[in-house]
């Protein structure tokens, strides 16, 4: 008698427990679906599309999230982060402090509440500082008539980073030794000559 009375009470209790769990899972699924809705962001546009920064300097990146029609999405938040080994210090708000010359790969993530994040790859170019000296090589002390030597000159920053400045060449005595615009030196006859390489208003010379 006691067993027959307990069975009807045990079954409804179990059913109530299962029904409650199912309702909770359904609510969780609905919430997850809403949070993973497609993003309205089509691209992230930098205010400085060809951003560069000098070694040792800092720059603040400014970006906007745009939809497919190019309209700004005002509720989007942009977060920045570096990719791979850091050539610079990068904050999530977009401050970049350059450490060495080269391209800094970045990820810009546009976050719109209730949607999937949109990720875009960007890069910032780090350039050398102003030219401080010109380096000239090799430095042959003596040449014989008819001998040719290819000279190389480059402008360097205070940190020793090579710049791409245009170099002009000249000889104090072209009849003794002449140098063409590409730095090819040719000894012509006995005598002395000074060869000069000029870049960014700076000069290196060898006699």
**Which pLDDT score, from 0 to 100, does residue 5 have?**
42
Higher-confidence position of 1 and 90 = 90
Tell me, what's the pLDDT at 34?
44
SS3 track for 121-167:
EEEEEEECCCEEEEEEECCCCCCCCCCEEECEEEEEECCCCECCCCC
Please say if the pLDDT value at position 8 is more than 70.
Answer: no
Instruction: Give the residue from 67, 77, 63 showing the smallest Cα distance to 41.
Output: 67
Whether 157 shows a pLDDT value over 90: the answer reads yes
pLDDT in tens, 125-153: 899 999 999 999 998 878 999 999 999 99
> What pLDDT, in 10s, does the model give residues 97-136?
988 898 889 999 999 999 999 999 998 889 999 999 999 9
Residue 68: predicted pLDDT: 96
How would you write 48-69 as a 3-class SS string? CCCCEEECCCEEECCEEEECCC
d(CA 157, CA 41): 41
Question: For 151-174, what is the mean pLDDT?
Answer: 95
Q: Give the Cα separation of 114 and 134 in Å (integer).
A: 57
What pLDDT, in 10s, does the model give residues 37-60?
999 999 999 888 778 899 989 989
Identify the pLDDT of residue 203.
95
| Complete domains list, the chain, with CATH | 43-127 (2.60.40.1080), 131-206 (2.60.40.1080)
């Amino acid at each position: 008698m006691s067993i027959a009375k307990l069975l009807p009470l045990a079954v409804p209790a179990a059913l109530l427990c299962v029904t409650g769990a199912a309702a909770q899972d359904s609510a969780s699924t609905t919430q997850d679906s809403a949070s993973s809705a497609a993003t309205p962001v089509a691209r992230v546009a930098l205010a400085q599309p060809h951003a560069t920064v000098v070694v040792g300097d800092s720059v603040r990146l400014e970006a906007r999230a745009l939809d497919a029609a190019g309209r700004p999405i005002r509720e989007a938040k942009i977060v920045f982060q570096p990719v791979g080994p850091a050539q610079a210090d990068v904050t999530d708000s977009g401050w970049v402090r350059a450490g060495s010359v080269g391209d800094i790969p970045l990820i810009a993530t546009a976050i719109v509440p209730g949607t999937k994040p949109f990720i875009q790859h960007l890069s910032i170019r780090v350039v050398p500082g102003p030219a401080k000296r010109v380096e000239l090589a090799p430095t042959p002390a003596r040449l014989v008539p008819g001998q040719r030597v290819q000279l190389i000159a480059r402008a360097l920053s205070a940190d020793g980073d090579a710049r791409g400045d245009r170099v002009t060449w000249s000889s104090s005595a072209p009849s003794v030794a002449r140098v063409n615009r590409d730095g090819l030196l040719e000894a012509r006859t006995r005598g002395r000559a000074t060869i000069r390489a000029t870049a960014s208003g700076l000069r290196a010379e060898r006699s």
